[in-house]
Chain A
């Protein structure tokens, strides 16, 4: 069941599992939904016997059998397309792309077919499927394993793009994504796959899609982020609090369709917004957020909307990756800049 807006979400005592990482929460959500819906099937490269390169699907083949947890050939176009066929015929496939850098071969299927199946068939067919992919940098991997190209998908009508930023939200949002009747691109920030543990209630309760989450209430400035950058954003908020600046932190979570209302409410209160994302700046989702605020909340603003992002270049290798990713001090500096006005 969805949680009504404005309600604080805390894990109930019962069914709570301690020390759950984000990738384990993904595994828990998959297992819950497979247990309760026999139409849920998984497919992807090395996900069955190997349990996936990040171990997101570990143990699921043993539990649900190879007919429901399928290893595919190394062919992303096939993975994306097969999932569409399954979805239109009554299954609820969850397809894994090993890295976001490999997803592009599948985009023809995702954009030209999955996203518009309902529209093209005038509602006769639809695609209840989830495309999962780990994304983002900071794990000492090559450049095509480190990109954040979520904006490519956010631009496509008919695709929902959901990015969890904590184990609790990964669990609730993945359940919601699987239960959603239309295609969801579910991007998992792999830098924080194991960086944080939380207590997660394994109770099958989904969170709401298409809504932001307010992680921290504040008065002076709104920090807007998603994915792994949420970690640095929260740390920046801590640092700012020491300086007497009260920052509100919003996890956008569903970057398309964007929950503009929550962002506008917060900016109406604080009058200042700083957007933080790992992806490069040009045409990033931050630009859409900034434009939305400028259009609808201009009168509330005390300062220009500022973005803290990656650079408009190929993600650098290992040695320079920290220089590319937004750091805590970058965020604090940006806030100091808008607070000064």
Chain B
């Protein structure tokens, strides 16, 4: 219900007596329709309705005295009850507003705080054409000193300006530092004898398929791990991120659902991804959602590595350069083609045993002709 209070009838009088109601409960009234006649000390006044509505209740009958400000009648519908025993609260205009704000300092403010210097040093930097943002202060509390500015200025004179990282290289720098800060990496290494492989075997395809099969043996390695909430998600499908080196930086396109697709289909998929990377036309979505990563640096040089695991993934496989090596074979020294493997995993998410079994399965799958 929404109350209508007896208004000040314009004569500054404190009360009025109800003479006659012109409406009853249940009536539908229009704006300005006469509701009631009241008698004040001076005259009989007709009170009009301030709004359209249905009458829900009448307070008082003919002959009753109503004081100014007391409820006279009530309309049906939601009342506006703002509470308060004293005072008046300003009401908002309706309408949904969104608010955006930074928790703590704005990024631009943080940067500014990182470059503290006395006014004299600022003036010096300006004179020498040096930006304080590029200087790490050596004074107390990171204050940039005269010496710092001079040193930087002479460096700059000799070497020219440093090149700020952009795009992929910048992203790589950030992501690598982030994962390095979070992950607890452990690496293990093993060699595979691939002398039995047929000529022309597609190495990357073999590696991708072997990873998929090893994931079935050790599901803990094909997993997304959430270090903040200490939870993990074991995944059925294997999506292999394949590290691709380009002049612009590192790209990791994702070859999806490796364990359920035909070799031909996979090869075509990989070629498409490589092509898209080479022409810089790969959509961001094609580089997300990997469950495990392969770094096939063996196409260049290097045997073993400790590649960086990218959260939420748990493992990364490194494949080194295939080379002939003298190894024991059936009790004799023999020259065989050897593929060196590295496995780095996040020890927060998987045990050494799981990693070792994974590597074992990988070696077994790759060892077949």
Q: Are A6 and B117 in contact (CB under 8 A)?
A: no
* CB of A340 closer than 8 Å to a CB of B: no
Per-residue 0/1 for A293-330: is the Cβ within 8 Å of any B Cβ (1 yes, 0 no)? 00000011000000000000000000000000000000
Q: How far, in angstroms, from A14 to B104 measured CA to CA in the complex?
A: 25
Question: Nearest CB to that of B92 among chain A residues?
Answer: A197
- Supposing A10-B100, A194-B91, A217-B106 touch, asked if A299 and B116 sit within 8 A by C-beta, the answer is yes
- From A7, A212, A266, A299, give the contact of B119 (CB < 8 A): A299
Tell me whether A141 and B105 are in contact (CB under 8 A): no
Q: Is the CB of B92 within 8 A of A145?
A: no
Q: Does A215 contact B (CB under 8 A)?
A: yes
Q: How many residues of A contact B (CB 8 A)?
A: 58
Q: Which residues of B contact A95 (CB under 8 A)?
A: none
Q: Are A208 and B103 in contact (CB under 8 A)?
A: yes
- State whether the Cβ of B109 lies closer than 8 Å to any Cβ in chain A: yes
- Any chain A CB within 8 A of the CB of B328? no
Task: Identify whether the interface residues of A are mostly helix, strand, loop, or mixed.
Answer: loop
Verify if A75 is at the interface (C-beta below 8 Å from B).
Answer: no
A197 B95 Cβ-Cβ under 8 A: yes
Docked complex Cα distance between A191 and B109 (Å):
31
Q: Indicate which residue in B86, B106, B116 contacts A300 across the interface (CB closer than 8 Å).
A: B116
For residues 102 through 150 of chain A, which have their beta carbon under 8 Å from a beta carbon of chain B?
Answer: 139-142, 145
Q: Is the CB of B95 within 8 A of A266?
A: no
Contact A261 B94 (CB under 8 A): no
Contact of B102 among A196, A213, A264 (CB under 8 A): A213
- Of A18, A19, A268, the most chain B CB neighbours within 10 A belong to A268
A193 touches B89 (CB 8 A): yes
CA distance in complex: A261, B85 (Å): 41
Q: Are B83 and A197 in contact (CB under 8 A)?
A: no
The yes or no answer to A152 lying at the interface (CB within 8 A) is no
A207 to B101, CA, bound (A): 12
Please state if A55 and B101 are interface contacts (CB–CB under 8 Å).
Answer: no
Interface: B330 (CB within 8 A): no
A334 to chain B, nearest CB (A): 20
CB distance from B102 to the nearest CB of A (A): 4
Whether B83 and A5, one on each chain, are in contact in the complex, defined by CB atoms closer than 8 angstroms, is no
Q: Can you list, as one digit per residue, whether each of A1-14 has a CB less than 8 Å from chain B (1) or not (0)?
A: 10111111111000
A207 surroundings in chain B (CB, below 8 A):
103
Q: Does A291 contact B (CB under 8 A)?
A: no
A-binding residues in B (CB < 8 A): 81-113, 115-119, 143, 228
